[in-house]
Amino acid sequence: MKQVYTSYSEAVADIHDGATLMVGGFGLCGIPEKLILALVDKGVKNLTVISNNCGVDDWGLGLLLQNKQIDRMIGSYVGENKEFERQVLSGELEVELVPQGTLAEKIRAGGAGIPAFYTPAGVGTPVAEGKETRTFNGKEYLLEEAFTADFSLVRAWKADKMGNLIYNKTAQNFNPMIAAAGKVTIAEAEEIVEIGDINPQEVHTPSIYVQRLIQAEQEKRIERRTVKA
């Protein structure tokens, strides 16, 4: 059984200044929002964050950005975050933009213990600057190194006390691969059930990858609400 925390601050207590974090989610879908809020309250700084995007101005990773707690952001999408744009243009934030498929594979490879791989994405563009290329079957490929992190924060729909996780529909997004690529993975879940209550065939992240659990309801904010006139 994994330790089930009741305090968000205790769950992130050892996340230190200068740590590298991977954070699950795509936009505001499937983000570990309560763990992010705990990091805001903790005031941890000089973070390197690996995530698809950096939330919005007033929610998710955007809150860490507002507080100047992130020094370096690695992702694939700037999104709707005006503060993110401002910090990039002013030189306050170091940003590495990675093609989305490459980002996913760099994280997946890190979790699988694969140090690097070749991909055609980015060849002949600024993404390839300073990187090794190689030709296979007459086509040029770019060598990309894998990503790992000190801590991975993920959001699950359901977990059992062993740490097996199920994500809800598209909230899977980056969560399964990020859960595998962190030295310490902390999962917040809407529901935590007893061992044996989850069908093994439905598990998305096996318990071996998860070190900590906490139950947390989500606000489930909508990034861009569109309604009929």
Q: Look at phi and psi of residue 196 and say left if phi exceeds 0, alpha if psi is from -120 to 50, else beta.
A: left
CB 192 within 8 A of CB 4: yes
Given a cut of 80, whether residue 79 has pLDDT beyond it is no
pLDDT value of residue 190: 97
CATH number at residue 100: 3.40.1080.10
CB count in 10 Å sphere of residue 2: 17
Give a yes or no: residue 133 inside a domain: no
pLDDT score of 120 = 97
Q: pLDDT-derived band of residue 21, with 50, 70 and 90 as boundaries?
A: very high
Q: How confident is the model at residue 78 (pLDDT cuts 50, 70, 90)?
A: confident
Encoding tokens for residue 31? 């983000």
Q: Is residue 137 part of a domain?
A: no
Does the pTM surpass 0.75? The reply is yes
CA distance 48 to 101: 20
Q: What is residue 197's DSSP assignment?
A: S
Say if 53 falls within a structural domain.
yes
Residue 80 pLDDT grade (very low, low, confident, very high; cuts 50, 70, 90) = confident
Which pLDDT score, from 0 to 100, does residue 36 have?
98
In a domain, 89, yes or no: yes
Query: What pLDDT is attached to residue 77?
Result: 86
What residues contact residue 2 under an 8 Å CB cut-off, 6+ apart?
A: 161, 162, 163, 207, 210, 211, 212, 213
> For residue 80, which amino acid is it?
E
pLDDT confidence tier of residue 221, bands split at 50, 70 and 90: confident
Terminal Cα distance for the chain, rounded? 51
Q: How confident is the model over 35-64, as a mean pLDDT? A: 96
Q: Tell whether 130 is covered by a domain.
A: no
218: confidence class by pLDDT, cuts 50, 70, 90 = confident
Please report, for residues 23, 59, 158, 205, the alpha-carbon distance to residue 201 in angstroms, rounded to integers and kept in the order given.
Answer: 25, 34, 14, 11
Number of domains observed in the structure of the chain: 1
Instruction: Please report whether residue 128 resides in a domain.
Output: no
* Residue 18 lies in domain: 3-117+146-215
The answer as to whether 129 is a domain residue is: no
In angstroms, the CA 30 to CA 155 distance is: 6
Q: Which two tokens stand for residue 169?
A: 């529909």
The residue count of the chain comes to 229
76 within domain boundaries: yes
Chain mean pLDDT for the chain = 95
Is the pLDDT assigned to residue 222 strictly greater than 90? no
Q: What is the pLDDT of residue 224?
A: 79
| Strand-strand pairing, 139-145 and 116-119 | antiparallel
> b or e along 162-201 (b: 16 or more beta carbons within 10 Å of the residue's beta carbon)?
bbbbbbeeebbbbbbbbbbbbeebbbbbeebeeeeebeee
Phi, psi dihedrals of residue 39, rounded to the nearest 5°: -70, -35
Q: Percent of the chain beyond pLDDT 70?
A: 100
